[in-house]
Structure 1
Amino acid sequence: MTYLIFLFLIGLVLGLVAVASNPAPYFAALGLVVAAAVGCGVLVGHGGSFLSLILFLIYLGGMLVVFAYSAALAAEPYPESWGDWSVLSYVVIYVLGVALVEGGCQVGWYSNSWFVVDEFKDFLCCEGFSGVALMIRWVGACWLFVDEFFWWLCLLCWSWLVG
């Protein structure tokens, strides 16, 4: 089960890279569907099967509407694929960026790693609170404040430029 969730997480990262490289609306929508499917697969692996099903159905309905509008508005006779050099360079940059961030988070990660608790027969834990312990730690709290500060700073700069 752990290997399956690991494969789902790799698929989630690759699906998000496919959306971020955005060669054409058709391929970006396909990457979004893949990311939604494997993200819901991760939820199923952690025991949220009903939540995963509802989220997937609602998310696919919303993506269908967005895909229809984007395909109608941005129809290209020769859309760029992921094999083109311009798009492939973005894919390589995004994958290297994810690898560098993951490598930077690897320091000390072995003692605080997330894992599926269902694999262990003698150890019971409520899965809903598994990530809370990591967020309460000093590093998680610092990242939360840095992220909030960044978005408030972006909002302030945007309002300053517009107004």
Structure 2
Amino acid sequence: MAAFDSSDWTFYDKQDLHPGRRRRKLIGWRSAGKDLWPGLVRAQLGMRVNEFADDVAAALAWLCDANSRLTNTSWDLWDLRETQNGAIYLVPLEEGPWRMKRSDRHFDETLTRDGAGVCASMLAISWIGHERTCDLPFCPDERIPKILKRLMRFREMHPEGAEIDRVLD
């Protein structure tokens, strides 16, 4: 991960965070340029961008109880974001709100597109880890548990962290 000027990063307003999380150091995010996507996804997950987009779209469809508005998984419909702590996640370009509802899992939350992207990316990365016969946190491909842990730390600094927790719990 290259060093960037602090002006390159976007931070959430501390007032939007849970009071217990306001004292922690914030983790910023920024949109990665499309030319950087293949290298970032390959380095982080060992796969192609379109495979990652397919997995995140499938996770989003599952979280939305198959009512996802994303029927085409082309990576032109996503924004790849990287976090200051070294994680990556995809955010749908279509504005929210995104309703995450599964009657069989007992959650019903409405998230912004950023929150929905964090949720879907975390679930997809977990699936990717299990497909590679991982028994998290013990995985032959050490990248998967590391990126998932970094996304979990980022989620703690997200204004919708509590909602994301309820969906993924």
Decide: shared fold, TM above 0.5. no
Please say which structure displays the higher CA radius of gyration. Answer: 1
Going by fraction, where is strand more abundant, 1 or 2? 2
Going by fraction, where is helix more abundant, 1 or 2? 1
Pairwise TM-score range, normalised by the shorter structure: under 0.3
TM-score, normalised via structure 2 length: 0.27
